[in-house]
Structure 1
């Protein structure tokens, strides 16, 4: 999905961008992931009279109150850093969690506050070409900025107070758990990529799900959007048929209801930060029938899924 320049974004558009590509079935291409962090730092707009004039109250990481003399008039994006972060700066290609409050530049009225509660905002990947990168540059976690975004043909001028909450790992970081008897064995490489040993795994009557790592984040609900890594294996021959790890380890974002029934069962009720293992029979996978080399009909499948982020479906409505 190609993103528009930040000057063309409205509050609604940015709210949709919080999904970080949710609703799109396009698979990310790891070869397109930017690596030039210097370019990311250079993407930060300069401060200006408008962004400098905003007074912000409240601690970074909590909802803010911004005051300014309205209307503010400006024609180019302006960003003023009001609180520096701590730790290592974000690098191009990293995922971050963030929150913001938006205000009308015309009236000074608050429009929306979002991202400070679990499940409100999906982690997003930043680059010099992404809207977030063009607003935040290469911040360290904890940074707060005031962004003045000018009016366009489709959006009024708006003032944002952005908080960078944290960088988001692209692997599950929950507490390791013992898998139940009969589940396939999962080993994890140093980069987080899983491998599966099928062993005595059979074909259950319905999907069996076990938690390999237990996260402490938001609990995924039916219809939510999720940011995940996954690794899929055929029980019949132990071969990998699909894996985000084989595409550069770049997570994908999608709505839970877009997956097959068994995969949905592996997501709903799980917490962000968890790694789950699911054994999915054909009836809850890709259907019964003749097994062939070109599709997954008739196959019992094993998925290892790392749940990295989630956003309530209601946040997009």
Structure 2
């Protein structure tokens, strides 16, 4: 399983397509449609206004509401209005997404996500949280089943058939790694495509998102949303173990907006032929909370990457 190639939301090690993308859910196409050029027609209501959210921005919140909660239409309330640039259709929006079952009030996931604003393939329920709001905003969306998993529900994350879901989204600034200059692991690349050897220093995991270019390429530059061909190896700083890699097989290929936040952002702006190492704290990887399903939650990850090729994002 290529864990690095799984998006960060909603739950680690599960394909985002099965949870965020409407086209993979069996939901009718028109239930997830939105006009790419316009803001969504969604406003606050008594249900979204009645959700109480506590906790620091960009951290898993504490959410309470009257249960069972049953919504007939999509409602969104902006709890915190940010001061950054307003999101527009086509933007790849970094966010922390937390979802709660309307029947029980229990949290079903809380993780980083990259959501493309205005994308007709994404459920309305998730689009609403990032739609036409300034970065730095916190929104709460109450989503009826018709705007999310429908009559089928999503038992893999604890959402029953026809169940309403409450979604809290913290809309973050674009993610850019700092230059990594201290306590950089030693990397020895193998011959003929063999896996590299990464020696971690005997220090605590870095708290900052950092990147070091080991060898700069001279090919095309990777753009946001571009398709990238590469080899990678992922190591947990917390355990010292390699948890996933493409070395030993064919190179991986994916879009920069289809992977965990810290991995995708590390590629943007780099040139084909570049070798790099990046350290990703949990808030930009698989989230702060570890569980049986999310074994990499709460861990700082280190990736060695060799970018081989890039192609423009599909129009």
TM-score normalised over the length of structure 2: 0.48
Larger Rg: 1
TM-score normalised over the length of structure 1: 0.48
